[in-house]
Structure 1
Amino acid sequence: MAEGRDKAQPIIVVKKHGGHGGHHGGAWKVAYADFVTAMMAFFLVMWLVTQTDIVKKAVQGYFQDPGGYKKSVQLSIVAKGTGILDKGGEGNAPKKSPVPSEESAPPMEHIDAVELFEQAMKALSGLDIPKGVFDLQLTREGLRVQLIEGSDEVMFFRPGSADLTPKGEVILKTIGMELAKLPNQLVIEGHTDGADLARGNAYTNWELSSDRANAARRAMTSGGLASDQVREVRGFAANKLRIKDDPLDPRNRRITVLVLNRYAGQMADDEEYDTSSVPAAAQQAL
Structure 2
Amino acid sequence: MRDHGTVIVKRKSRGKHEGHHGGAWKVAFADFALAMMALFMVLWILAVSSEQERELVSTSLRDYSVFEGSPSPYLLGGTPFPVDLLGSPVLQPSGTGSPLADSLAQAGRELSAAALPRGRFESEQERQLLAILIGQLAERRGMEDNLLLDIVPEGLRVQIHDHSQQPMFSRGSARLSAQFEALLKDLAPVFEKVENRLIISGHTDSVRYVSQHYSNWDLSGARAQNVRQLLELSGMPPGRVLQVVAMSDQALLDKQEPTSGANRRVELLLLSQQAEQLLEQLFDAGLPNGVFNKAEQSARLSEPPAPQEVAAQ
What TM bracket, shorter-length normalisation?
0.5 to 0.7
Q: Which residue of 2 aligns with 1:182?
A: 194
Counterpart selection for 2:236 from 225, 230, 240: 225
Task: Verify: 1:152 aligned to 2:165, yes or no.
Answer: yes
Distance 1:124 1:246, change over 3 A: closer
SS in 2 for 1:282: coil
Residues 93-113 of structure 1 deviation map (CA, whole Å, 9 limit, x = unaligned): xxxxxxxxxxxxxx8444334
Q: Which residue of 2 aligns with 1:282?
A: 291
Unaligned runs of 5+ in 2: 1-76, 91-108, 111-120, 296-313
Q: Which residue of 2 aligns with 1:246?
A: 257
Residue identity matched to 1:167: Q
Number of corresponding residues:
187
Distance 1:69 1:236, change over 3 A: farther
CA–CA separation in structure 1 for the residues paired with 2:292 and 2:176: 43
Q: Which residue of 2 aligns with 1:136?
A: 149
CA–CA separation in structure 1 for the residues paired with 2:280 and 2:78: 35
Are the counterparts in 1 of residues 127 and 151 from structure 2 also a CA contact under 8 Å?
Answer: no
Kindly name which structure, 1 or 2, has the bigger radius of gyration based on alpha carbons: 2
Residues 40-82 of structure 1 deviation map (CA, whole Å, 9 limit, x = unaligned): xxxxxxxxxxxxxxxxxxxxxxx8648556577xxxxxxxxx9
Task: Verify: 1:112 aligned to 2:126, yes or no.
Answer: yes
Are the counterparts in 1 of residues 201 and 224 from structure 2 also a CA contact under 8 Å?
Answer: yes
Task: Verify: 1:165 aligned to 2:174, yes or no.
Answer: no
Q: CA deviation at 1:283?
A: 5.6
Q: CA deviation at 1:172?
A: 1.1
Are the counterparts in 1 of residues 135 and 147 from structure 2 also a CA contact under 8 Å?
Answer: no
Q: Which residue of 2 aligns with 1:48?
A: none
CA–CA separation in structure 2 for the residues paired with 1:125 and 1:281: 49
CA–CA separation in structure 2 for the residues paired with 1:217 and 1:172: 10
Q: Which residue of 2 aligns with 1:215?
A: 226
SS in 2 for 1:137: strand
Matches within 5 A, 1:43-54: none
Give me the TM-score of the superposition, normalised by structure 2.
0.53
Provide the identity percentage.
25
Are the counterparts in 1 of residues 161 and 266 from structure 2 also a CA contact under 8 Å?
Answer: yes
Are the counterparts in 1 of residues 201 and 245 from structure 2 also a CA contact under 8 Å?
Answer: yes
SS in 1 for 2:129: helix
SS in 2 for 1:158: coil
Matches within 5 A, 1:263-282: 263-275=274-286, 278=287, 282=291
Matches within 5 A, 1:65-84: 65=79, 67-68=85-86, 70=88
Are the counterparts in 2 of residues 161 and 208 from structure 1 also a CA contact under 8 Å?
Answer: yes
Q: Which residue of 2 aligns with 1:256?
A: 267
CA–CA separation in structure 2 for the residues paired with 1:134 and 1:159: 19
Q: How big is the alpha-carbon RMSD for the aligned residues of Structure 1 and Structure 2? A: 2.8
CA–CA separation in structure 1 for the residues paired with 2:141 and 2:180: 10
Are the counterparts in 2 of residues 173 and 221 from structure 1 also a CA contact under 8 Å?
Answer: no
Distance 1:132 1:153, change over 3 A: closer
Higher relative contact order (CA 8 A, sep 6+): 1
Q: CA deviation at 1:198?
A: 1.8
Q: CA deviation at 1:182?
A: 1.2
Q: CA deviation at 1:166?
A: 1.1
Give me the TM-score of the superposition, normalised by structure 1.
0.58
Q: CA deviation at 1:118?
A: 2.9
Distance 1:285 1:243, change over 3 A: same
Q: Which residue of 1 aligns with 2:300?
A: none
SS in 2 for 1:122: helix
Q: Which residue of 2 aligns with 1:127?
A: 141
Q: CA deviation at 1:169?
A: 0.7
Are the counterparts in 2 of residues 113 and 182 from structure 1 also a CA contact under 8 Å?
Answer: no
